[in-house]
Structure 1
């Protein structure tokens, strides 16, 4: 296998090793947190569910959001680098475009870092917006396979929407605990339920795309022989 083949496997490998296990853990803690809250509301003050599940849900949810954005950036970086920057010799033929892409990666990562550190509502909104815009701009670059003609079964669009929902959830964490009307908590539950369905779709469409790549990729022996 070539280096490019190994780099192609990096995105799905990270999904299997990091992202999907985190999804399972976060969903489990989310369910436990809700069950504990309902038990206490019903008058059961001695719930068997430990109170730390809420804290663990929040902390691991933050890790999940970062991992989702990170794994998408990894996929974009490989696709844009191999199928656009190197293939089209972008730094030679179109240096401003190449520099713009590099800056967008840097700004997106920086915005995500600042989003984690921001406390004021307006700054969280700003950095969440910048992070989301960065993903959208990078995803629109040449080299990224989007399957736009079949957007409803597109691994790209499922992942992009899920990532934007993760970023939004990250931005409203403080509001969930401050809002006594439970509006933001309900929004969080609904949007992340949608995100969970999208992650399931990601697992299906990602497997399909790997299968399709295999159909059109010569066996390693033929690659080695230059056939």
Structure 2
């Protein structure tokens, strides 16, 4: 799942980005209003963490929220602010925000709110994902196959979740990098193949077919059950 973090405080933005990454999300960062709207127009995000006080645009984060909401009615927006007043909260929610978090905040609460918004998002409509005999629960971030619990790292979970949300469709390596890593990824070129290999080992069951198919030259596929 891919998240856009919009925060003009570079230190805080980096802390949030790292926390989201450790939790298995891919996170991009924008530091002002125009950069946020450009990223939102170019990329597909599953959630936006949006600071209220933003430079570069009249109306700050409130206006960014309004513009984003006009372009997409279903992407969850979590608004951050140092202004703890009922009026500002109401304005933010009326502008299109789905939730509100007052600074300073604990990262554990931020992550809990992100998980809650992801569960409520229309694109995450299945409480439990099921494909190729694998059950994946986004609420608990756990996986099972043939009655066996499968331990996954945060990145393994992110790759498997994206494949399962697109079950029945071939997913390319570049799509997986876009959604399970982020725009700043500059690592090794075979990182996707490496994580696919990790997943195949963990998902393997004697006598059962492989969960993840390779379509050479195209990408990877998890078949739809039935």
Short-chain TM bin: under 0.3
Q: Which has the higher helix share?
A: 1
Q: Which has the higher strand share?
A: 2
Q: TM-score, normalized by length of structure 2?
A: 0.26
Structure 1 or 2, whichever has the larger Rg, is 1
